[in-house]
Amino acid sequence: MITIKGLKKVYPAKHQDVLAVDNLNLEVSKGEIFGVIGYSGAGKSTFIRLLNRLEDPTEGQIYIDGKEISAMGKQQLRKSRQEIGMIFQHFNLLWSRTVRDNIAFPLEIAGISKGKRRARVDELIELVGLKGREDAYPSQLSGGQKQRVGIARALANNPKVLLCDEATSALDPDTTDAILRLLVDINEKLGLTIILITHEMHVIRKICHRVAVMESGRVAEQGDVLDVFLHPQQQVTKRFVEQVMGDKDQEESLHLLENYQNGKVARLHFVGETTNQALISQVSKQFDVAVNILQGKITQTQKGAYGTLFVHMEGSDEEIARAIAFIKTTSVEVEVDADAE
Q: Tell me, yes or no, whether 295 and 227 share the same domain.
A: no
Backbone phi and psi for residue 213, each to the nearest 5 degrees, phi listed first: -100, 120
Structural domain harbouring 284: 247-339
Q: Tell me, yes or no, whether 141 and 274 share the same domain.
A: no
Q: Tell me, yes or no, whether 101 and 69 share the same domain.
A: yes
Burial class (CB within 10 angstroms; exposed 0-12, middle 13-18, buried 19+) of 334: middle
Q: Tell me, yes or no, whether 194 and 255 share the same domain.
A: no
Last residue of a domain, one of 244, 265, 299: 244
267 or 115, greater pLDDT: 115
* pLDDT score recorded for residue 280: 83
227 or 63, greater pLDDT: 63
Q: Tell me, yes or no, whether 41 and 23 share the same domain.
A: yes
Q: Tell me, yes or no, whether 77 and 216 share the same domain.
A: yes
Q: What is the mean pLDDT of residues 212-238?
A: 90
Buried b (16+ CB within 10 A) or exposed e, 31-67: ebbbbbbbeeebbbbbbbbbbbbebebbebebbbeee
* pLDDT score recorded for residue 276: 53
Percent of the chain with pLDDT over 90: 52
* pLDDT score recorded for residue 222: 94
Read off the CATH number of the domain in which 33 is found: 3.40.50.300
* pLDDT at 203 exceeding the cut of 60: yes
Residue 132: count of CB within 10 angstroms of its CB = 9
Residues 87 and 34: their CA atoms lie apart, in Å, by 15
Residues 53 and 76: their CA atoms lie apart, in Å, by 12
* pLDDT score recorded for residue 72: 86
Q: Tell me, yes or no, whether 125 and 262 share the same domain.
A: no
Q: Where are the alpha helices (DSSP H) in the chain?
A: 44-51, 74-80, 99-109, 114-128, 143-155, 173-190, 201-207, 225-230, 235-245, 247-253, 279-286, 317-329
Q: What is the mean pLDDT of residues 175-198?
A: 94
* Average pLDDT of the chain to the nearest whole number: 86
Q: Tell me, yes or no, whether 80 and 54 share the same domain.
A: yes
* pLDDT score recorded for residue 38: 93
Highest mean pLDDT among 178-187, 230-239, 241-250, 328-337: 178-187
Read off the CATH number of the domain in which 294 is found: 3.30.70.260
Residues 221 and 212: their CA atoms lie apart, in Å, by 6
pLDDT band per the 50, 70, 90 thresholds, residue 269: confident
As for how many domains the chain has, the answer is 2
* pLDDT score recorded for residue 211: 94
Last residue of a domain, one of 223, 244, 265: 244
Last residue of a domain, one of 203, 226, 244: 244
335 or 111, greater pLDDT: 111
* Contact between residue 129 and residue 164 where contact means Cβ atoms under 8 Å apart: no
* pLDDT at 257 exceeding the cut of 50: no
* pLDDT at 250 exceeding the cut of 70: no
Q: Tell me, yes or no, whether 184 and 287 share the same domain.
A: no
The model's pLDDT over 12-29, given as tens digits with 9 standing for 90+, comes to: 988 889 999 999 999 999
* pLDDT at 255 exceeding the cut of 60: no
pLDDT band per the 50, 70, 90 thresholds, residue 183: very high
Q: Tell me, yes or no, whether 180 and 283 share the same domain.
A: no
Q: What is the mean pLDDT of residues 199-216?
A: 91
Q: What is the mean pLDDT of residues 150-177?
A: 93
What Cα–Cα distance (Å) separates residue 101 from each residue in 4, 87, 122?
Answer: 35, 17, 11
Q: Tell me, yes or no, whether 170 and 87 share the same domain.
A: yes
- Relative to beta strand 33-37, strand 193-198 is parallel
* pLDDT score recorded for residue 275: 54
* pLDDT at 32 exceeding the cut of 60: yes
pLDDT band per the 50, 70, 90 thresholds, residue 223: very high
* pLDDT score recorded for residue 82: 86
The model's pLDDT over 306-334, given as tens digits with 9 standing for 90+, comes to: 777 788 888 888 999 899 889 888 878 78
